[in-house]
Amino acid sequence: MALEDPVIAPDTGIVADLAPAVATEPATAAAPAGIPPRFACFVTGTDTEIGKTLISSALLHALVQRGVRACGMKPIAAGAVLRDGRLHNDDCDQLEAAGNVHLPQSITTPFLLKEPAAPHIAAALENVAIDPVPILAAYLEVAAASDATVVEGVGGFRVPLTDSYDTADLAQQLDLPVILVVGMRLGCINHALLTVEAIAARGLKLVGWVANALEPEMAFGDENVAALAARIPAPLLGRVPRLREPSAAACAGHLDFSGLPNWPAHRNNPQ
């Protein structure tokens, strides 16, 4: 596979060109007769430690509850520890636990780095070159093995992965509908609106956003949410309070994903 080769995910209606190009709106091609359209999304945030993994896990939990074969993917993760003879990252472990399609770690997280730092720094420390080709190839494997895929970004929307490639480039190549997690704290309006502009500048479709509480009480929280709702051209999927015991199930109870593109109807749980 060469960098300029197009990558086509099975039955997704999505074409991701590995070479930088003018982005187009995510494809919404109809699935073959009798086969429901598959759900896929890219989850990004206004910053790091903002709740992307919690929201991604809630998406996976909700999909599994609807009887869908769902798999989470975090292509790049920094901050891994060796446990039981295997590298573990908390975010990756949460995604794996929330989904019901379990694939090798080398597929769901092609680049798992030990140092809890910006990916380009962590990769340099391990003499690793982050390359989009294995990431996009891995995405195709995940898409082929599942009916729904949730891809979680790393950090905010424009985190460097190499000197010339960042998470916005990856999102553009995947060409998936985007869900934005806004960490509710002072300054969140500016951070959210700048991220919304960056998503639009890549030709990507923002299909929803989540207001995720980062502290028990935020001064003027309602007013901040109202200001964001008036300015973000996508539906608010819900407000997640500061949970005493954060979990995918608890988080999902505060969110409504039913309006998302290709959100599946309830099916019998697959065996």
Summarize pLDDT for 68-83 with one digit per residue, the tens.
999 999 999 999 998 8
pLDDT at 211: 98
Please say whether the beta carbons of 95 and 73 come within 8 A.
Answer: yes
Query: Considering only 130-134, 167-171, 208-212, 217-221, which range has the smallest mean pLDDT?
Result: 217-221
**156 appears as a binding residue in the annotation:** no
Helices assigned H by DSSP within the chain: 52-65, 90-98, 105-108, 119-125, 132-145, 167-174, 188-201, 221-231, 248-252
Please identify which of the residues 38, 61, 74, 120 carries the catalytic annotation. Answer: 74
pLDDT at 22: 38
pTM of the predicted structure, to 2 decimals: 0.86
**241 appears as a binding residue in the annotation:** yes
User: What's the mean pLDDT in 137-161?
Assistant: 97
pLDDT at 37: 80
User: What's the mean pLDDT in 84-100?
Assistant: 94
Q: Is position 114 annotated as part of the catalytic site?
A: no
Please state, rounded to an integer, the average pLDDT across all residues of the chain.
Answer: 89
Q: Determine the Cα–Cα distance for residues 119 and 12; give it in Å rounded to an integer.
A: 28
**115 appears as a binding residue in the annotation:** no
Check pLDDT > 50 for residue 26: no
**96 appears as a binding residue in the annotation:** no
pLDDT at 35: 59
User: What's the mean pLDDT in 48-75?
Assistant: 97
**25 appears as a binding residue in the annotation:** no
Structure tokens at 218: 């935020």
User: What's the mean pLDDT in 99-123?
Assistant: 96
Between CA 160 and CA 55, with CA 196 as vertex, the angle to 5 degrees is 80
Which residues have C-beta within 8 Å of that of residue 47, sequence separation ≥ 6?
155, 156, 183, 191
